[in-house]
Amino acid sequence: MSITLKDIVKKTGLSMSTVSHVLNGRPGFSASTQQRVHQVARELGYLPNHLSRALAGGKSMSIGLMGETFKTPIRLLRMREIEKLAKADSYCMYLVANEGMMAEPDMLKTVEDMLARRVDGLIICDLNELPSDVTQRLLNCGKPVVFVDHVPDQATHGVHMDRTAALSQAVKHLHDLGHDSAVYLGSRFDQLVPELKLGRYRQELKMSGMQLIEPEHWYVEATGLEDMSDAAYALTQQMLKHIIPSAIICISDETAIGAIHAIEEAGLSVPDDVSVIGFDDLPIAKHFKPSLTTISQPMLQAGQAAYEILSNLFKASDASPEIRELRCQFIARESTGPVRSNAPTAKSLYENLATHKPVHVQS
């Protein structure tokens, strides 16, 4: 038999309204009264029905979190931070991963499903621009919504990640070391959303008088995080049969680690023969040998900021618009060094690649 408020009222001798208000977190009650109610509720095994409360116009004590993926360590860090803060405030999380670039109808259905669960608010973590119908549904859903990473123009609350300065510093770093070109080791996602990294690298290298070597269809596509370094390793092996670039810019630290393994297995040295730049600054990046030159993303701070903004909206739905800006940071370590004396020119790299079939490595 389920325990109800009446059972707590009977055992505490308090009124129904007092017990209900205390369990709902209403202020105005003494510490001893609050302690007594919560103690009896625990002893009896009382479980509040948040969904029934939400259907009656109250709070469900739940938050919807949708992200492009929760598999990568850096994004898992952000998700866990949001989850930790939510749990501290007695909220549960509904997690939905937008794996593999979810189609618009599926994404819209996902949003509707979360709203049908009567979530009190939503945090949307996505690198790319959402379909317009999905964006409009979120903006007009009547719930507090915080966008993270890609913040739509119409949104009033979000956390934006600025990668521009860090990417510029990474390119300047290679230029200062004497490199006039770099091969980009990316993923299929880069081809779909080039403005995130690939497009910005193109722009920065061009402004520095350098060339970004982008072998068509030479990209990593892995079925899971554990495969990223393996796929990058295999792709770099294939690439080294045709060219030995002076520098490789990688989409992630996992990709960089796979590339470095292939370079060293080929009898070459990082950074003496090939410089390698990663992205994310995973915990292993500074301990890996050679330690990774990379770009750090403040994902922990992004999770904290997103939850704080949402929490403020819970307290005041008419809270002032707030878009927080967080900057990524370039970190130079051991995996980059001066260009080698016999490094090929960008022109010769392109010519060599043009004589070979494109390579698409999927692990």
Query: pLDDT confidence of 169, banded at 50, 70, 90?
Result: very high
Residue 270, pLDDT above cutoff 50:
yes
DSSP E strand boundaries for 201-285: 211-213, 219-221, 247-250, 275-277
Say if CB 250 and CB 222 are below 8 A apart: no
Residue 310, pLDDT above cutoff 60:
yes
Query: pLDDT confidence of 41, banded at 50, 70, 90?
Result: confident
Report d(CA 128, CA 163) in Å as an integer: 14
Query: Could you tell me how many helices (H) and strands (E) the chain has, helices first?
Result: 14, 14
Other Cβ atoms closer than 10 A to 24: 12
Q: What does the pLDDT look like over 11-32, one tens digit per residue?
A: 999 998 898 888 877 778 998 9
Q: Whose CA is closest to 292, among 256, 259, 328?
A: 256
φ/ψ of 223, rounded to 5, equals: -80, -15
Question: For a pLDDT cut of 70, what percent of the chain falls above it?
Answer: 84
Supply the pLDDT for residue 145.
96
Supply the pLDDT for residue 346.
74
Query: pLDDT confidence of 112, banded at 50, 70, 90?
Result: confident
Report d(CA 104, CA 102) in Å as an integer: 6
Tokens at residue 285, please? 């990046």
Q: What does the pLDDT look like over 271-287, one tens digit per residue?
A: 999 999 999 999 999 99
| For range 259-265, the mean pLDDT | 97
Q: What does the pLDDT look like over 199-252, one tens digit per residue?
A: 889 899 999 999 888 766 566 665 555 578 888 898 899 889 888 999 999 989
Say if CB 157 and CB 146 are below 8 A apart: yes
Question: For a pLDDT cut of 90, what percent of the chain falls above it?
Answer: 45
| For range 162-172, the mean pLDDT | 95
Report d(CA 39, CA 45) in Å as an integer: 10
Residue 360, pLDDT above cutoff 50:
no
Say if CB 362 and CB 231 are below 8 A apart: yes
DSSP letters spanning 108-170: HHHHHHHHHTT-SEEEEEESSPPPHHHHHHHHTSSS-EEEEES--TT-SEEEEEE-HHHHHHH
Question: Which domains can be identified in the chain, with CATH numbers?
Answer: 5-48 (1.10.260.40), 62-155+299-326 (3.40.50.2300), 164-293+332-362 (3.40.50.2300)
What is the pairing mode between strands 275-277 and 121-126?
A: unpaired
* CA diameter of the chain: 87
Q: Say whether 245 sits in a helix, a strand or coil.
A: coil
Report d(CA 200, CA 164) in Å as an integer: 7
Residue with tokens 């990568």: 72
Report d(CA 146, CA 150) in Å as an integer: 11
Q: Angle formed by the axes of helices 299-315 and 73-88, to 10°?
A: 30
User: Model pTM greater than 0.75?
Assistant: yes
Q: What does the pLDDT look like over 51-96, one tens digit per residue?
A: 555 445 567 889 999 887 666 778 888 999 999 999 999 898 988 8
Report d(CA 270, CA 261) in Å as an integer: 10
Highest mean pLDDT (candidates 19-23, 38-42, 176-180): 176-180
